[in-house]
Amino acid sequence: MLSLTSVSAGYGSFQALFGVSLEVPQGEAVGVIGPNGAGKTTLMRVISGLIPLREGAVTLDGQPVGGLPAHRMVEQGIAHVPENRRLFARLSVEDNLRIGAYVPQARRRFTEQLAWVYGLFPRLKDRREQAAGTLSGGEQQMCAIGRALMSKPKLLLMDEPSAGLAPLVVAQVFELVQRIRAEGLTVLIVEQNVQQVLDVVDRAYLLEVGSIKLAGSSAEFKENSFIRRSYMGL
């Protein structure tokens, strides 16, 4: 579904990605792991159009989408749950969800999407009038994922969904990812929490200093001695 071919990107004179290629097949969940500063967030940002594509190609269902600005990417069916959630803290939960359905095709389906998201995360329904900034960490992550789902995307990008959360909540977040997968969505997820992310994805990539160093199924990753030693502490 999503395919990147030798993508390069960066900020100003700093280059963060060097010819990254990867594939996310329809209906699968793919994880990208790697140390801090490897370019994981940059990868997500270039896919969702927050930073410009310098070289290479990004295609979605065979259509080239590389270099489109962020707001056009949403129309193409890519939704991005940003790092640190970035909720609109002073807006209510429901307003956060409403803005997730901003694109015209999503507005038409607002009521049914809202019912679907509330079905997935009943906690959000209880807190719909509350300002998003007053939610707990786990609830905020639910709200951020719900906001992204409101546009009824084909592909969901998740940038470090477990970052900054308590261990118990982290387990809940990965459970959320499972639930979303069960809904048939395609997911690309970036994580530092290697052990847990490998339990929820089908395939994985290892990103180090801006390049893909390893690719394989999650089972292969779990077996790989380098991954076990360097990223899982085993």
Partner 1 sequence: MDPYLIEAIINGILLGGVLALLALGLNLIFGVIDVVWIAYADIVMCGMYVIYFLYVEYGIPLPLTCLMAIASIAALGVVVHLLIIAPVLNSAPINQLLATGGLLFFLQSFATLLFGTDFRNIGVRLPVLEIATLYISFSRLIAFAVGLIGAVALYLFLKRTYIGTAIRAIAQDREIVGLMGVDQRRIYLVTSAIGGALAGLAACLLALQYDVHPHIGNTFGPVIFMICVLGGLGNMIGGFIASFIISQIIAIGGYYANTELSYVLAFTFFIVLMFVRPRGIFAR
Q: How far apart are alpha carbons 194 and 199 in whole angstroms? A: 9
Greatest extent of the chain over all pairs of C-alpha atoms, in Å: 50
Q: How many CB atoms lie within 10 A of CB 138?
A: 18
Minimum distance of partner 1 from residue 206's CB (angstroms):
26
Q: How far apart are alpha carbons 145 and 126 in whole angstroms? A: 16
Q: Which two tokens stand for residue 73?
A: 């990417």
Q: Is 95 in the site for partner 1 (CB under 8 A)?
A: yes
Binding marks (x or -) toward partner 1, 29..48, rule CB under 8 A? -------------------x
Nearer to partner 1, 38 or 73 (CB): 73
Q: Is 106 in the site for partner 1 (CB under 8 A)?
A: yes
Minimum distance of partner 1 from residue 23's CB (angstroms):
23
End-to-end Cα distance, the chain? 34
* Residues that contact partner 1, how many (by CB under 8 A): 28
Choose which of 100, 138, 146, 161 interacts with partner 1 (CB under 8 A).
100
Taking contact as CB under 8 A, which single stretch among the options 78-86, 116-124, 180-188, 189-197 is the one that binds partner 1?
A: 78-86
Choose which of 80, 127, 181, 203 interacts with partner 1 (CB under 8 A).
80
Please check whether residue 233 is in contact with residue 226, taking contact to mean a CB–CB distance below 8 angstroms.
no
Residues 109-168 interacting with partner 1 (rule: CB under 8 A): 147-148, 151
Q: How many CB atoms lie within 10 A of CB 11?
A: 11
Q: How far apart are alpha carbons 99 and 114 in whole angstroms? A: 11
Choose which of 5, 21, 50, 211 interacts with partner 1 (CB under 8 A).
50
Q: Is 102 in the site for partner 1 (CB under 8 A)?
A: yes
- Find the Cα–Cα–Cα–Cα dihedral 4, 7, 9, 13, rounded to 10°: 180
DSSP 132: G
Minimum distance of partner 1 from residue 31's CB (angstroms):
20
Minimum distance of partner 1 from residue 68's CB (angstroms):
11
Nearer to partner 1, 71 or 213 (CB): 71
Q: Is 88 in the site for partner 1 (CB under 8 A)?
A: yes
Number of continuous H segments (helices) and E segments (strands) in the chain: 11, 10
Taking contact as CB under 8 A, which single stretch among the options 58-66, 94-102, 203-211, 221-229 is the one that binds partner 1?
A: 94-102
Q: How far apart are alpha carbons 60 and 21 in whole angstroms? A: 14
